[in-house]
Every structure is written in C-alpha cells, then in structure tokens.
C-alpha cells in the first residue's frame, strides 16, 4: 500500500511558527528551553518523529521523554536546566 502521508511545512512553536529550517542544528550541544520546546513542537506537529529527533540530536529516549514530562508539568520555563533539576527533584521526591 502506498503511504501518502505528508509532513506539514510548519508547526506552532513556543515563539510562533517553526519550519524544518528553523529547528536547531544537528550539532547542537547547548540546549536552551526554546530549542527544546521547538524540537518537541516539531515532534507534536509531525515535522519529525520521536525516533528521528533522538537520532538527529543524539539524545536518548529517556532524555527526550524527560523534556516532554517537564514541558507538560511546568511549560517552557520547566525546560530550563536550573528549573529542570529543581522540578525533577520535586516531581520525583515530592
């Protein structure tokens, strides 16, 4: 069977529309909250799938899933590294 599913050209990101060209470089090593949120928006909107994101950005499934949990729990500010540790401790131990 022929798969005719097409990917969207843009999705709604944390600061407006995000296209594939707007996504962080595959060589990104410093992750800001905005970059994390853009990758998650791209996954949610169908620009890329979960496995593609893990491979492109060399992230473990656990790390990307942790981003998702923090975004769902605390929004984009929860993706900040300083807040992430505090929120993770509260989420796990609280």
Domain ranges of the chain: 30-93
Report in angstroms the alpha-carbon separations of 86 from 10, 15, 66.
33, 25, 13
Predicted pLDDT at 93: 52
Please, what is the Cα angle at 49 between 19 and 81, to 5 degrees? 75
Per-residue model confidence as pLDDT tens digits over 9-24:
999 999 999 999 999 9
The CATH architecture annotation of domain 30-93 reads Orthogonal Bundle (1.10)
Predicted pLDDT at 5: 72
> Which is higher by pLDDT, 82 or 56?
56
Predicted pLDDT at 6: 84
Predicted pLDDT at 7: 85
- Record the pTM: 0.81
Predicted pLDDT at 44: 96
């Amino acid at each position: 069977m022929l798969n005719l599913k097409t990917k969207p050209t843009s999705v709604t990101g944390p600061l407006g529309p995000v296209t594939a060209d707007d996504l962080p470089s595959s060589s990104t090593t410093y992750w800001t909250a905005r970059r994390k949120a853009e990758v998650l928006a791209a996954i949610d909107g169908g620009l890329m799938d979960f496995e593609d994101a893990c491979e492109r950005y060399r992230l473990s499934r656990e790390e990307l899933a942790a981003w998702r949990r923090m975004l769902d729990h605390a929004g984009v500010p929860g993706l900040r590294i300083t807040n992430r540790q505090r929120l993770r401790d509260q989420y796990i131990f609280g």
